[in-house]
A = this chain, B = another copy of it.
Amino acid sequence: MPLDLLPVSTAPAACCTPATSPAITEQDAVQLARTLKALADPARLRLLSLIAAHDGAEACVCDLIEPVGLSQPTVSHHLKVLTDAGLITRDKRGVWAYFALVPGALESVTTHLGAHLTGSAA
């Protein structure tokens, strides 16, 4: 078959150009998604915001239950999710449990987001 009779010219210009720069790895995507899942809930965002709004970025559970308007077990559950995600820390002093923001945790998330998801290739 002659080369100049290949059906290349009739094909409407291949759409598939693999990529110009490497994408995020499967592993990194899973890890980043894990943290984002912890953030992707209105109640948890409010909890984080409430903690951040307190002196020293630290708050006791009893400060949080009433503003978010959820039951105590539910608030405790959300705080555990945030703690497991490494976004806040738990410090039990006597009867009360104090939760504080982990410095830089949120910046780390936004940094990773920007590192992989900006349209750097013009």
Contact = CB atoms under 8 A, between A and B. Distances in A.
Main secondary structure of the interface of A (DSSP, over half): helix
A53 B19 contact: yes
Interface residues of A, number: 59
A121 B101 CA distance: 12
A42 B116 CA distance: 13
Given A29-B49, A119-B101, A23 B114 contact: no
Contacts of A120: 52
Contact of A110 (B19, B53, B101, B110): B110
Interface of A: 12, 15-24, 26, 29-30, 32-33, 36-37, 39-46, 48-57, 60, 62-63, 67, 94-96, 98, 101, 103, 106-107, 109-110, 113-114, 116-122
